[in-house]
Chain A
Amino acid sequence: MTTAAAPFGSRAATVAGPAGGAAAIAASARQVTKAYGSGETRVTALDQVDVDIARGRFTAIMGPSGSGKSTLMHCLAGLDSVTSGQIRIGGTEITGLKDKQLTKLRRDKIGFIFQSFNLLPTLNALENITLPMDIAGRRPDQAWLDQVVATVGLAARLKHRPTQLSGGQQQRVAVARALAAKPEIIFGDEPTGNLDSRSGAEVLTFLRRSVDELGQTIVMVTHDPVAAGYADRVLFLADGRIVDEMANPTSDAVLERMLRFSAAETPVPAPAGPLTAGGDSRRNA
């Protein structure tokens, strides 16, 4: 365990060392604006957003549908370009990078967990987990890999194809893949959105542990107050702006904040419906 933990320790140390204040920031957005379309159909998905993602912390992003959560995450992860402003990942300015450099950045520094369809159906679980390293031409750190696999509880399923795994198991493989490459930061867009509450809890617990025990940095978009409750910090987005944030959230506090928030947004009573119902309907889908 000590050997496996070592890389984390050393990395944290080097980053913390010379860069000073920046050391605590894994990713940041400065005055980021993202607009789709032009003229009449122009939609401003992000409106001058400033955000810092703390290293070694679990950050959740919440907000109503269409508020720009996915857009923010995609921009932070270098999957999408911004209209103006700057994005930095671990001290590297990524706005203006070419596709080749962005690809390399995603490959080496970023892990992804999507809501669904995270795995290649032609590869087995283990191959999916090591895929980012395969692509990079790196040999996986075997001890670390074993630890990740053991933590995710997939040791017995490594040779299985995704179709032979349950939805929760598939998401856990995706989490393992994100962790195995030891990225600077992991992004999840509703990683538990397709899971029932028990599987969702498994995955979230695992994400939490990887932050606590492995020092991983995670950013997760979610609609679910319970999921947000696992995070260290929740950012609330509305209309492309960060409107609020909460440290050390509990699910009740988040739910309460959301209800308040929706009430302020729309005068219609009981507007929380779409948010929670949205989450529920996703679960049932």
Chain B
Amino acid sequence: MILKTSLRSFFAHKGRMALSLTAVVLSVAFVSGTLVFTDTATATFDRLFASTASDVAVSPADDGADHNEQSGGAMARTLAASVVRQVAAQPGVKSASGEVSVSNATIVDPATNKSVGPTGGAPTLAGNWYETPNSALRITSGAAPKGAGQVLLDADTADKAKLGIGDQLRIITAVGDYRATISGIATFTTTNPGAALVFFDTPTAQRELLGRPGAFTSVVAYGDGSRTDDQLKAGLVATFGRTYQVKTAAEQAADNQSDVGGFLDFMKYAMLGFAGISLLVGGFLIINTFSMLVAQRTREIGLMRAIGGSRSQVNRSVLTEALVLGVLGSTVGLGAGLGLAVGLIKLMGAVGMHLDASQLTVKASVPITAYAVGVVITVLAAWLPARRAGKVSPMAALRDHGTPAEAAANRIRAGVGLLLTAAGAAALVAGSRSDSAGTGGALLGLGVLVTLVGFVVIGPLLAGAVVRVLGAALPALFGPSGRLAQRNALRNPRRTGATAAALMIGLALVTGASVVTSSMVSSATSQIDKSVGADFIVMSNNGGLTPNMVKAIQGTPGLSHVSRSKDIGVVITSPDGHREDTSINAVSPTYGEDLRVPAVTGSFEGALKEGISVDKDYADSHHLKVGDPLSVHFQGGSTRTLRIAAVTAEDNQLYQGEMYIGLDTAVRALPADRLPQDVMVLAGASSGADQAYAALQKSLAQYPQLQVKNQADYKALIKKQVDQLLYMVYGLLGLAIVVAVLGVVNTLALSVVERTREIGLLRAIGLSRRQLRRMIRLESVVIAVFGAVLGTGLGLAWGITAQRVLKTQGLNELTVPTGTIVAVFVGAAVVGLLAALGPALRASRMNVLAAIATD
């Protein structure tokens, strides 16, 4: 019986339900789309890694800090050809091959002088071509590379760069610069997620990629089936001891997965976070819809109660409707989520991560999560108004279909809201005053959460005051439509508050994020202004700077000096016994001119001659002063005792927490083949900076992977990078805002229906259609701008607190992006106008007589 009433009521209100449904659909789609996308990406990589892993692989022993060795500029570690023979001789090993593989090569199309490798996260791999039982690639056209001057290219890269057999390629490696003709194209047996690969024959690879004839980077071996991978590994470990590291197929796959896994996890959690936000906003929409439906049906409910329906029956009828909505929304959302995942895959394809949409991985957990999220949120959101509906006394409900007086409830609400907001504000203030970024961050998180909840609770009460102020100008500006709109926005503050709160969340996050990012840009800019003396900065997009590149820079006319900088993996032991696995900067003696690192005590220039400079934080926490000795173990080289020559300041992110030694110190401590490439080269102009810039660009034009920047361009680059991050955040928050806009549409649509009689009356006494539409538009704009006021207020508080908390982390300058805030307000007004389009049209089309006659 109840079910029948509920279903009938659900379908009777399908127009109104459609908007709530959209909210559920969007939220569920986002959650399930994220899960499907990350699962698919993980599965793609799993398949790839499974296809590339040999049964066992032997590589040079890992001596600590160089996980990211090649991108940090370190040279590839090698083993001798004799190891291949030793591995092949192991019992149970069927075949063993020496492999050369480096990830610091750059592939250039000489015709265009452009890098053809991926620019995003995926690597460019260069190696030797050899046949194995389990190769990830197969030659699909042409032939394997033979001898110097031949190279094999992967099909995806060839397609992308429009290269074919016979075309020239230039490969820039740590060793040198090498030209070859494409002899064949190889295609992945599984999906290539975006890496670019080139292969040479083994001697060429050894010579050109490693600079060491006869050397390999690893040995891959396949068993004859008589032993398990673990047994093979045990045998190899027994042979080699700890000289080499041995990994089974499973271990190789796990290693690889943890490399990409971090990135995928980050994406997953970020997107799930945004899904959560849109779910929260969607929750508001649903609460609002059900509140309004329940309010409209107060009389009906009163009648049900008067003729003997129990409170729980009323509850149940509303909840059943919610259940129907939740199930329907989750189902559609799940479908939309699959579409979203495909869209994401396509989008990732555009930025260089190729996944195969036809191999969509949908685990059982996806539908389970989708339904759990969709149904639970919907039912929860409907439960609140249902409970309220059940509480209305039958007579009160029958007498009047307005909302009952809520003075007492409002007082409680005001109390709770104020308390929460005050507590949240206190947390924010405490966070901004906190000395440590850790506790500050925790307080910030707490403050953000509590102020958000506080504002949501208190929103309806603020609506009264704020809308009155916002709307004060309306009657003067827009005449009777303005006055009516202002009153309408005020008549149900709870509804206005809830509608605006949905918008507030998205806008608060947008404002907060833009305060933080603007501060990031202005802080970075001011730090560069303050500390960077270099006129030019040269960095590589891929790996470090090869000696040839450094030579090219040094040979450029018009430069006063060139300072080199290397990242060196070290283990530092302080006198108090603390060991730290870290990396330090080894820089040229002129480095101090290019990056002015102020010394609190001692002399930074001195540290670059001899000894080491440490940051104040490190010095303080280990009670160190100038002159104290540090034991520094250079990874792959010797252990030296270096005396502290300077304690450096912390006020600038460019050198905060960094330790410096002279380049010579590193050269003495490390064998030549373990000395990494330069990560950055700084230079000064002797005169005519523009000329020198042009000359530098000219002499580095042959290396398309290098970025040559002067200070202005460097700042622009940083701004661009930060902006990219910001746009991504905006894009994702856009979803929350879309859901919130649906909420405004919903509120207006329901209000229009509720006020049918009023609209009829207004029309009868002469309100024109235009004036009526304007009235609804203005109401919508007022609600939206109210949301913007709350949102920007909250966002500013969050952003400013975040800046204060991160002050010591390099975010030393606060910039409030007034442009963005103005845009948020203008955008909110536009959003209000758009949201009102449908409801206003509907209201203006109402038949006057029919409207008056409704009850």
Contacts and interface: CB of A to CB of B under 8 A. Distances in A.
A64 interface: no
Contact of B761 (A80, A110, A120): A120
B683 to A, nearest CB: 71
A122 B768 contact: no
Looking at chain A, what size class is its interface with the partner chain? 20 to 34
Q: Looking at A79, A132, A135, A137, which has the most chain B CB atoms within 10 Å of its CB?
A: A135
A118 B484 CA distance: 15
A42 interface: no
Contact of B757 (A103, A117, A135): A117
A107 B766 contact: yes
Contacts of A106: 764-766
Interface in B718-774: 757-758, 761-769, 771
A103 B766 contact: yes
Contact of A103 (B490, B769, B849): B769
Contacts of B764: 77, 79, 106, 112, 114
B768 A120 contact: no
A104 interface: yes
A161 B767 CA distance: 20
B777 to A, nearest CB: 16
Contact of A134 (B483, B757, B758, B768): B483
A104 B757 CA distance: 20
Contacts of B771: 135
A110 B488 CA distance: 26
Contacts of A177: 765
Contacts of A80: 849
A104 B768 contact: yes
Nearest to B853: A70
A123 interface: yes
A131 interface: yes
A121 interface: yes
Interface in A106-164: 106-108, 110-112, 114, 117-118, 120-123, 127, 131-132, 134-137, 163
Contacts, number: 71
A174 to B, nearest CB: 10
Contact of A100 (B402, B757, B758, B768): B768
A88 interface: no
Contact of A114 (B490, B762, B769, B852): B852
A118 B761 CA distance: 7
A134 B764 CA distance: 14
A74 B769 CA distance: 19
Interface string B821-840: 00000000000000000000
B487 interface: yes
A99 interface: yes
Contacts of B762: 120, 135
A79 B848 contact: yes
Contacts of A114: 761, 764, 852
B404 interface: no
A71 B757 CA distance: 18
B273 interface: no
Contacts of A117: 757-758, 761, 852
A120 B484 contact: yes
Given A79-B848, A131-B480, A99 B765 contact: no
Interface string B465-480: 0000000000000011
Contact of A122 (B487, B763, B765, B852): B487
13 contacts: A103-B767, A103-B768, A108-B766, A114-B761, A114-B852, A117-B757, A117-B758, A121-B758, A122-B487, A131-B480, A135-B762, A135-B765, A135-B767
Given A79-B764, A135-B767, 18 more contacts: A77-B764, A80-B849, A103-B766, A104-B768, A106-B765, A107-B765, A112-B764, A117-B758, A117-B852, A120-B487, A120-B761, A120-B762, A122-B484, A123-B487, A135-B480, A135-B762, A136-B766, A137-B479
Interface of B: 402, 479-480, 483-484, 487-488, 490-491, 757-758, 761-769, 771, 848-849, 852
A-B complex: 10 closest residue pairs judged by Cβ atoms: A107-B766, A122-B487, A134-B480, A106-B766, A135-B480, A103-B768, A132-B765, A135-B767, A122-B491, A135-B766
